[in-house]
Amino acid sequence: MAEGKASVKDVARVAGVSVATVSRVLNDSATVSAESRARVLAAVERLGYRRNAVARSLRTAATGTIGLVIGDILNPFFTELARAVEDEARAAGYAVVIGNADERPDRQDDYVRTLLERRVDGLLLCPTAEVTPLVRDTVASGTPVVFLDRTLPGLDVPTVRADGADAIDELVGHLLRLGRRRLAFVSGPAILSTGRERTDAFAAALARRGQPVRPEYLEAGDFQAASGRAALARLLDLPEPPDAVVAGDNLMALGALDEIRARGLSIPGDVALASYDDVPWFPHLDPPLTAIAQPVQELGRSAVRALTDRVEGREVEQVTLRARLVVRGSCGEPMTRRHPDARDTGHGDGTNDEGSVTA
């Protein structure tokens, strides 16, 4: 109704009670007579009073806020993750402050720093490719931190992540079955679990099937599109270029697509392409991209649960979920339906289903 600068003191005066009573009504913390309650509520309404969360946080030493630092806000994987985190946090009564590290340790640190200064109750971190002193100190200092999607070596932090080893194994089998023999992998930074482990799983899958693992087919990028493109350029310039490439995330797959198209090569004719991460438009690409889908919704929700558990003093353990393979046409699988009359039911983690967002 009125100006927005009223404080408890004003409310108390208008309602003819003390500030303590106002506070008690606002938090319904103790017994207050119906009479007082009504008068306070009326005064609040009349003054357009809005509680000052800053002062409240100062006094209670809790902000009701968790920080989420994601790797790259332009990466739909993180975007979807942020959405899931937000939903679950809101349900648990927390607000989320999102920070975008842009895959750069310095920006990550910037965000961690301001989030800590703002006294978030806990921190959800998708760590960038480096163990910075700040991150080390932060986890050491007892601030509730949970790693999401990725881990860093040498730090004892609860982590929520998806294991794609089985899916990668399946994908390798798929490619070999389709006659591909020169399989390449473009991984993320080796220090990140999501970089190292995916490469390892890939190599293990080849080995398990008695296939050689050629070091020149193991490329590394930084999870950004440009690095995917560069990696593809190096691979395609090899004397014996690969006939199948698996990209370590969806952005590098996009970069790979760029390079393959730019060279006038066809997919899957000249080279098969598959991607880690499944995103809504993959089914609409030419050809539809075979991908490994992570349970993004569950990842986000579990992470929030783990963090709030830590914040509220409960014990938490590591959470590992499973990713799974979604076969489409980009590896040479015969396309059974050129113009499908039913929806491709590739996704399946509960929400997004091919570009149709939110139920």
Partner DNA sequence: TCCTGCCGTGTAAACGATTACACCACTCCT
Partner DNA sequence: AGGAGTGGTGTAATCGTTTACACGGCAGGA
Q: Please report, as ranges, the residues that interact with DNA according to CB under 7 A.
A: 5, 7-9, 16-24, 26-27, 29-33, 35-36, 49, 51-52, 55-56, 58-61
257, interface contact from DNA, a second copy, none, CB < 5-8 Å by kind: a second copy
Residue 36 interaction partner, one of DNA, a second copy, none, beta carbon < 5-8 Å per kind? DNA
Strand ranges (E), 23-100: 65-70, 95-100
Least distance from DNA to the Cβ atom of residue 49, Å: 7
CA neighbor of 293 nearest in space, from 351, 341, 335, 336: 351
Question: Dihedrals φ, ψ of 312, to 5°?
Answer: -90, 15
From a second copy, DNA, none, interface partner of 8 (C-beta below 5 to 8 A by class):
DNA
* 137 residue type, one letter: D
**Contact flag: residue 181 with a second copy (CB under 8 A):** no
The binder of a second copy chosen from 23, 224, 275, 308 (CB under 8 A): 224
Q: Provide the minimum distance between the beta carbon of 113 and DNA in the complex, in angstroms, as a whole number.
A: 14
Site for a second copy in 294-333 (CB under 8 A): none
Of 33 and 356, which has the nearer Cβ to DNA?
33
Q: Does 281 sit near a second copy (CB under 8 A)?
A: yes
Neighbours of 340 (CB within 10 A): 12
Nearest-approach distance from CB 228 to DNA, in angstroms: 44
77 by DSSP, 3-state: which? Answer: helix
> What is the number of other CB atoms lying within 10 angstroms of the CB of residue 318?
13
> 112-171: which residues touch a second copy (CB under 8 A)?
113-114, 116-119, 137, 141-143
What residue 26 binds from DNA, a second copy, none (CB within 5 to 8 A, per partner kind)?
A: DNA
Asked if residue 216 binds a second copy (CB under 8 A), the reply is no
Q: How many residues bind a second copy (CB under 8 A)?
A: 74
Q: What is the b/e burial string over 193-231, where b = at least 16 CB atoms within 10 angstroms of the residue's CB?
A: bbbbbbbebbbebbeeeeeeeeeebbbbbbbbbebbbbb
Q: Least distance to a second copy from the beta carbon of 65, Å?
A: 8
If contact means CB under 5 to 8 A according to the sort of partner, which of a second copy, DNA, none does residue 23 touch? Answer: DNA
Minimal CA–CA distance to 278: which of 292, 288, 267?
A: 292
Both tokens of 308, joined, read 């709030």
86 binding a second copy? (CB under 8 A):
yes
Specify whether the CB–CB gap between 304 and 85 falls below 8 A: yes
CB of 284 to a second copy, least distance (A): 5
User: Quick one: 98 or 191, whose CB is closer to a second copy?
Assistant: 98
What is each CA distance from 243 to 186, 263, 338, in whole angstroms?
Answer: 13, 15, 23
CA distance 26 to 176: 65
> To the nearest whole angstrom, how small is the minimum distance from the Cβ of residue 146 to DNA?
24
102 touches a second copy by CB under 8 A:
yes
Report d(CA 344, CA 347) in Å as an integer: 8
Q: Is the Cβ–Cβ distance between 36 and 42 less than 8 Å?
A: no
Residue 281 interacting entry, from a second copy, DNA, none, C-beta within 5 to 8 Å by type: a second copy
Please choose, from the candidates 89, 39, 92, the residue with its C-alpha nearest in 3D space to the C-alpha of residue 67: 89
DSSP state of 96: E
- Residues between 12 and 71 with contacts to a second copy, criterion CB under 8 A: 48, 50-55, 57-58, 63, 65
Identified binder of a second copy from the candidate list 15, 124, 157, 254, rule CB under 8 A: 254
Strand order in the sheet with 95-100: 95-100, 65-70, 122-125, 145-148, 159-163, 319-322
Taking the least distance from each CB to DNA, the nearer of 9 and 177 is 9
